[in-house]
Structure 1
Amino acid sequence: MLTVALFTHSARPSGAELFILRIASAMHTVRPLVVLGEHGPMEEHLSARGVETLVLPLPPELTEPANLRTRARAPRRAWHYARELGEALRHAGVDVLYTHSAKAHLLGGLAGRLTRIPVVSHAHDLLGPPARGRLGSAISRGIFAVLPQRRIANSDLTRRSAGWASRLPWEIVPCPVELPLRRAAPRRRGQEDGLSLLVLGRLTEWKGQDLAIRALASVLRSGRNATLDLVGDAQFAGDVDYRSSLEELARSLGVSERVRFRGHSDDPGAALRQADIVLHTSLRPEPFGQVVLEAMAEGRATIVADSAGVVERLTPGGDCLIYSMGDADALASAIATLIDSPSERKRLGRAARWTAEEFTSQQVVPLIERALHGSWQQVPTGGRSAGTATLTTTDTLLKFK
């Protein structure tokens, strides 16, 4: 059986890491080995699902905030780490390396070239603006053009963000969703609370929780009744300032009693089940938008910014409502529509669940396994032995962090 190493630099359960958790535990035609660049919560999550894990910690020069010292040492440490990673993969009998984060695409791509292990790189984030600046975009696109044997994107939006590299062969594979055994009705609150709106995700500016607060204020001014739950927490220093700005915005709009900061949840499904309407409020094009599918799997009526990659696979007006990204008035109007029509909320929830059933691991994982087997079959037999490859682009690529 083909042994595949799924590599990410982070052990925190965010988008790409949760993707790995779901697909690794559902693989049948390959043997998965998850390689993490640090110790963290993902080790326990993977172990609970019986997934073999290897931790190869990144050196501080590749994890600490950039300064003159780390910037000077980063290229050499990246090269050494790639060699160590390649040796570890060979020792583990890995046939294909499957990378899932920006650092993993670079370090894993180099390791694959050094050891002649074929590399499949899966883009979970945009490879160009606004997610990255001009230099970061050029480097990200160069990495995807040069290092992997095969490329996967979670949406066509993500593929197009590769710019000139988007003209190379790509495969589009959506994110999987875990379906609850059955849809649950939202927990009913007191009549004075009105309908429950929910934004689920890390508190950070581009996720647009401020847009939801502005839309709530507009809904309340129209005489309708609703509350807003923000489930998620600040993870970085800048995010803490953003949370403070959200609290101040709610006070200035007179809706602070209607906005509830719930903090991080280890059970996002429970938060979704308690909501009447789930809002997707990102303020920049989102590569996919897993939380949208998670809400739909729970049978929740969902309102989605029209720039999310997942919209490519949805039926606006059929299984969700969409609005123009960043438009608080348009979002408020969509919310008002669903508040005024309980039958429409129920219809959207039923249709959403049906759509989510098309994105289970049973549908998605075979697409991935086919790509992994294909990358192995593409490599000539003589090229599968360990060796050293010459990388003419190494000096440029090693600058990527």
Structure 2
Amino acid sequence: MHQPRKIRVAHVDHTVVSGGAEIALARLINSEPGWEPYLFVPRGSDRAEMLARANFMDVVETGPQQKPGLASAGLRGAFRFSGALARHALALTLSRRFRSVDIVHANSTRAALYSVFAAKLSRKPLVVHLRDAVSSDSLGRIGYRAMTKLVLPAARGVVANSQYTLGTAREHVAAGVVARVIPSAVGLPRRAAPTHERPEVLTIGMVARVAEWKGQRLVLEAFARAFQAGSVRLSFVGGTELGGSDYLRTLRSLADNLGVSSRVDFLGQVPSGAVEALIDDLDICVQASIRPEPLGQNVLQYLARARPTVVADRGGPVEWIRDGHNGRTFRSGDVEDLARVLKELEPREQREALARGASQTPLPTLESVAAMHQDMYVECMRP
């Protein structure tokens, strides 16, 4: 009996550097989904790294590499930005492999800005994956205008990582567009039952890219207020974004000035296989973005490993954290409130209660996330 051909999906990304979007896509593709995936990335990318993360997809290098920062630059930057997008859109359109696909999935905001033109020229439906809030703070002035005036009105489908993220895009999405909230798969095994918490807090930690808006400074200041004396340590796990070395130096200097530098560890980017053990060793896990967090994978990973979790009270994380049940919330941007919550979690029984709640929190599996993506691709291809 003749088997129907699988849907061919072009997954377009502007980079293969191991950021959250790229890691999430690699997990999705390596689950052997029910579609035929093709990954389109800029020329000159590290092919060995791509293939290590993409066992089940064809990798196609096309178009120029995208330089960071252009979306928020001035007039000269705007012209350079537009030119780079046009060159990449043309390269995609001329790619024989791209012309053979059925639907286009833009895996990042930057990728969406040129995928929209390639999809229009090739007459293919476009699915835009929103991992950042649709705002000028998140996307830059030029990026925001391009997303709201060009990309979202042309999209056949919109995937968002949280209800919060989708809400920032609603007014810019045309009527009848397929819009779904699909979180990223956790990428870590569930801890079936929480282990007994340590009698005392030894380490507080945050797993996130080192960037000003992620709130490392806030966490550092709250830690210093809550644990000025004693042996409690603070660990920051995550690399800097491009151009973020100045911020890292600022954090190190601040730790010195606060008198806690001997108890603060900046671990940098760690292999994905090491994240589970690092999270398991944290007595309190923190998410502290100073603007509303769309939904980083860190919060779901904290829950998967049944760790006591503290999050800011705005954005996607509060869709998963119930204050006092499976985590704690604090007033976003408020150092004193975060310090208060951290101190309140010193007693073992407080942390054990949150760990139990975390272990009972339903989380998306890789299979369910893949199924939601496939259903969306099918729906977006309907006339």
User: Which category describes the TM-score, using the shorter chain as reference length?
Assistant: 0.7 to 0.9
Q: 2:260 aligns with which of 244, 255, 259?
A: 255
1:174 and 2:178 aligned: no
How far apart in 1 are the matches of 2:10 and 2:139? 27
Check conservation: 2:321, 2:327, Cα contact below 8 A: yes
Check conservation: 1:159, 1:166, Cα contact below 8 A: no
Aligned residue in 1 for 2:335: 328
Q: Counterpart of 1:345 in structure 2: which amino acid?
A: R
How far apart in 2 are the matches of 1:202 and 1:326? 18
Aligned residue in 1 for 2:303: 296
Aligned residue in 2 for 1:347: 353
Q: 1:217 aligns with which of 194, 205, 224?
A: 224
How far apart in 1 are the matches of 2:123 and 2:35? 19
User: Which ranges of structure 2 fall in alignment gaps of 5 or more residues?
Assistant: 1-5
Give secondary structure in 1 for the equivalent of 2:39.
strand
How far apart in 1 are the matches of 2:146 and 2:252? 38
Aligned residue in 2 for 1:22: 27
- Could you tell me how far 1:303 is from its partner in structure 2? 0.4
Aligned residue in 2 for 1:195: 202
Q: Counterpart of 1:243 in structure 2: which amino acid?
A: L
Aligned residue in 2 for 1:51: 56
Aligned residue in 1 for 2:42: 37
- Could you tell me how far 1:39 is from its partner in structure 2? 4.6
Aligned residue in 2 for 1:395: none
Deviates more, 1:68-77 or 1:209-218: 68-77
**TM-score w.r.t. structure 2 length?**
0.87
- Could you tell me how far 1:227 is from its partner in structure 2? 1.1
- Could you tell me how far 1:145 is from its partner in structure 2? 2.9
How far apart in 2 are the matches of 1:86 and 1:293? 37
1:146 and 2:150 aligned: no
Q: 1:166 to 1:225 in 2, by over 3 A?
A: farther
Aligned residue in 1 for 2:3: none
Q: How do residues 69-148 of structure 1 correspond to structure 2 at under 5 angstroms?
A: 72=79, 75-88=82-95, 90=97, 93-148=100-155
- Could you tell me how far 1:112 is from its partner in structure 2? 0.9
How far apart in 1 are the matches of 2:240 and 2:376? 36
Give secondary structure in 2 for the equivalent of 1:368.
helix
How far apart in 1 are the matches of 2:113 and 2:145? 13
How far apart in 2 are the matches of 1:332 and 1:352? 21
Q: Could you list the per-position Cα deviations for residues 18-60 of structure 1 after superposition, in whole angstroms to 9, with x for gaps in the alignment?
A: 1211211225321122222255468535545522232324326
- Could you tell me how far 1:224 is from its partner in structure 2? 6.4
- Could you tell me how far 1:326 is from its partner in structure 2? 0.9
How far apart in 2 are the matches of 1:5 and 1:27? 15
Q: 1:43 to 1:371 in 2, by over 3 A?
A: farther
Check conservation: 2:285, 2:309, Cα contact below 8 A: yes
Q: 1:327 to 1:275 in 2, by over 3 A?
A: same
Query: How many residues align structurally?
Result: 371
Q: Could you list the per-position Cα deviations for residues 168-206 of structure 1 after superposition, in whole angstroms to 9, with x for gaps in the alignment?
A: 4422212221232646988999x9x95210011222211
Check conservation: 1:186, 1:275, Cα contact below 8 A: no
Give secondary structure in 1 for the equivalent of 2:289.
coil
Give secondary structure in 1 for the equivalent of 2:17.
coil
Q: Could you list the per-position Cα deviations for residues 307-349 of structure 1 after superposition, in whole angstroms to 9, with x for gaps in the alignment?
A: 1313223322211111111111111111112112x12212212
How far apart in 1 are the matches of 2:146 and 2:48? 30
Question: RMSD in angstroms over aligned alpha carbons?
Answer: 2.8
Q: 1:13 aligns with which of 9, 15, 18?
A: 18
Deviates more, 1:10-19 or 1:176-185: 176-185
Aligned residue in 2 for 1:63: 67
Q: Could you list the per-position Cα deviations for residues 242-287 of structure 1 after superposition, in whole angstroms to 9, with x for gaps in the alignment?
A: 1121122112211111211222211222211211111111111111
How far apart in 1 are the matches of 2:220 and 2:304? 25
Check conservation: 1:141, 1:163, Cα contact below 8 A: no
How far apart in 2 are the matches of 1:76 and 1:233? 30
Aligned residue in 1 for 2:376: 371
Q: 1:228 to 1:70 in 2, by over 3 A?
A: closer
Aligned residue in 2 for 1:390: none
**TM-score w.r.t. structure 1 length?**
0.83
Aligned residue in 1 for 2:237: 231
1:160 and 2:164 aligned: no
Identify the structure with bigger relative contact order (alpha carbons < 8 Å, sequence gap 6+). 1
How far apart in 2 are the matches of 1:204 and 1:74? 23
Check conservation: 1:158, 1:309, Cα contact below 8 A: yes
How far apart in 1 are the matches of 2:143 and 2:37? 30
- Could you tell me how far 1:233 is from its partner in structure 2? 2.9
How far apart in 2 are the matches of 1:364 and 1:135? 31
